[in-house]
Amino acid sequence: MVTIDDFQKLDIRVGKVIEVEDFPEARKPAYKLTIDFGSEVGVKKSSVRLCKNYSKGSLKNKLVLCVVNFPPRKVGSFISEVLTLGVPDKENECVLIVPDMDVPMGGRMY
């Protein structure tokens, strides 16, 4: 059983996607995202497998939720610094978890 103290250890923040690149070296189709979390966290990179549900253009300037306090993870030659959060659709493809209103970048989920 997870406690509220365990949950509060996760630092989940709102960021704005400022750059989207193809990631042709990835084993499965993926993008490299550059995400701005505001002044407290800064700009971070994330590898995401979203190609089935999102075009590069649809991701640019999108607000996303990410875990920002996991250690960086190497994905091929790329270092993914944050975990971008999503849930599976009916075909088990990722759908992003996003705020349904315009909220400040860097806001922490609670």
d(CA 98, CA 54): 13
Q: Taking the C-alpha atoms of 33, 105, 70 and 31 in order, what is their torsion angle to the nearest 10 degrees?
A: -10
Class of the CATH domain delimited by 4-96: mainly beta
Domain borders along the chain are 4-96
CB atoms under 10 Å from CB of 45, counted, come to: 17
Which pLDDT tens digit goes with each residue over 53-85?
Answer: 999 999 999 999 999 999 999 998 899 999 999
Flag whether the pTM goes above 0.75.
yes
Q: Name the residue with tokens 């994905």.
A: 75
Q: What backbone torsions phi and psi does residue 4 show, to the nearest 5 degrees?
A: -60, -35
